[in-house]
Structure 1
Amino acid sequence: MISLIIYEIATGRVARQITVLDEYERDQNLREGEAYLLGSVNPATCYVKNGEVKAYPEKPQAHLSFDFAAEAWVDARDAATIARDLDEVKESAMAEVNAQIGRARQRVITALPGQDMIYLRKEAEARAYLAASNPVLADYPMISAEVGVTAETAYQVAQVWIYMSQSWQALAASLEAIRLTAANAIAAASSAEAIADALAAFEAALSAASGPTPV
């Protein structure tokens, strides 16, 4: 059995790897514009230059094509395709930013239907309770329900809620600033590498953010 590397004469691209019994079978497998070398290679990782098998250099980006004359990876896309591909990368990056921001928010709030309204009602009731001269607990049903659960007294429950509200507002402002900074950087990016840098900066800023435990 004879192992043959079949390649395109014009480019050097390895078309296929075959095994034949003899020269007749070899010639039957050669197509117009093709030549062969003895040996065995993986067509996906090698090409032929001046009769020598060479390994492709590392491919830095998925969209690049190999220029056999220059023996290098090049961007063969037209301007319209480049712009469209960049827009798709930006869209994917923004989706990732929004998803991570959403998860960061959910780490400090309870994500249930209507829970945001509950938080607003708690804050309003806590402020009203603390502002009252002689508050009657029965007038503050949400505080009353959490006495002995969130804290031991109504005053302490109200204080906890005010603290949580202030902490959440500070964190929400921080997260929104991080999100908008990333969005602006991604929108202004002119390459996939710049988008990757924007995402890396976003993730570093997000990892530094922290917040209170949801109540």
Structure 2
Amino acid sequence: MIVFYDPTPVSTNPDRYRILWTAKGDRDDLTEGKANWIEVADQALETLDGWVVEGGALVLADLTAYRREAIARINEAAGQTRLQFITDIPGQQMLYQAKEQEAAAYLAESPAPVDLSNYPLMAAEVGAGLTALTPLDLAQTWLAMANQWRLVAAAIENVRLLHVYAVEQAADLATIDQYVAQALSLLASIVTPQP
């Protein structure tokens, strides 16, 4: 693609030029005798707004929209990674929290209660063919699962936040793309920790 630019620099940067127009392919007929053009790989530019020629290269001068899209990709990948470890149906997150609270309250009692009337969620899952045979086993299982989730959630959030910040600070498209690729790779590598 041939990019033709205004020979007058923009703003205070003596090496930054406004793009006038582009032409796909290698067009010697268009460039012959002209000095203010560069050749770059063919690409679809929805608009020339924000793009400039700087240092002999096509660069996006205003990275705001590109950053926003990159951050959205990181956030979406973090959400998809979370879905590998949780059941995402209405009310399920509140149920997980209620189970954890019930398990902690049950284990805090001494002696352990035989009557589960104060622990309705536990009563629903204790017994043959259910989640656990005893209230103690169930409470320990629920707390272990909650702790595992916290470790996974922390790993996901760490990757997400570090890379969103890096994208916000990046100075060019290539660096933004690098941070997005790194975030997606790290998120894909997250596995359930062993208890």
Q: TM-score, normalised by structure 1?
A: 0.63
The one-letter amino acid paired with 2:112 is N
Q: Is residue 2:135 matched to residue 1:158?
A: no
User: Which residues of 2 match residues 1-215 of structure 1 at below 5 A?
Assistant: 44-48=24-28, 59=41, 62-63=44-45, 74-75=57-58, 82-83=61-62, 86-132=63-109, 133-135=111-113, 136-148=115-127, 149-211=130-192
How far 1:48 moved relative to its partner?
2.9
Give the RMSD, CA atoms, in angstroms.
Answer: 2.9
What displacement does 1:122 show?
0.3
**1:45 match: secondary structure:** coil
Matches of 2:99 and 2:170 in 1, distance apart? 42
Measured after TM superposition, the shift of residue 124 of structure 1 is 0.8
Paired residue total? 154
Q: Is the 8 A contact 2:104 2:143 kept in 1?
A: yes
Q: Which has the higher contact order (CA 8 A, sep 6+)?
A: 2
For structure 2, list consecutive stretches of 5 or more residues without a partner in the other structure. Answer: 5-22, 33-37, 49-55
Q: Deviations over 1:12-40 (max 9, x none)?
A: xxxxxxxxxxxxxxxxxxxxxxxxxxxxx
Q: Percent same amino acid at aligned positions?
A: 33
Q: Which moved more, 1:89-98 or 1:203-212?
A: 203-212
Q: What's the secondary structure of 1:152's corresponding residue? A: coil
**Aligned residues of 2:81 and 2:188 also touching (Cα < 8 A):** no
| Residue identity opposite 2:80 in structure 1 | R
Distance 1:129 1:96 in 2: 41
What is the rounded CA distance, in whole Å, between the counterparts of 2:24 and 2:74 in structure 1? 35
Letter in 1 for 2:124: A
In structure 1, stretches of 5+ residues that fail to align are: 1-10, 12-42, 66-72
C-alpha distance in structure 2 between counterparts of 1:44 and 1:88, whole Å: 24
Of the structure 1 ranges 108-117 and 181-190, higher mean CA displacement relative to structure 2 is found in 108-117
Which amino acid counterpart does residue 97 of structure 2 have in structure 1?
A: L
Distance 2:69 2:85 in 1: 25
Q: Secondary structure at the match of 2:28?
A: strand
Using the size of structure 2 for normalisation, the TM-score is 0.69
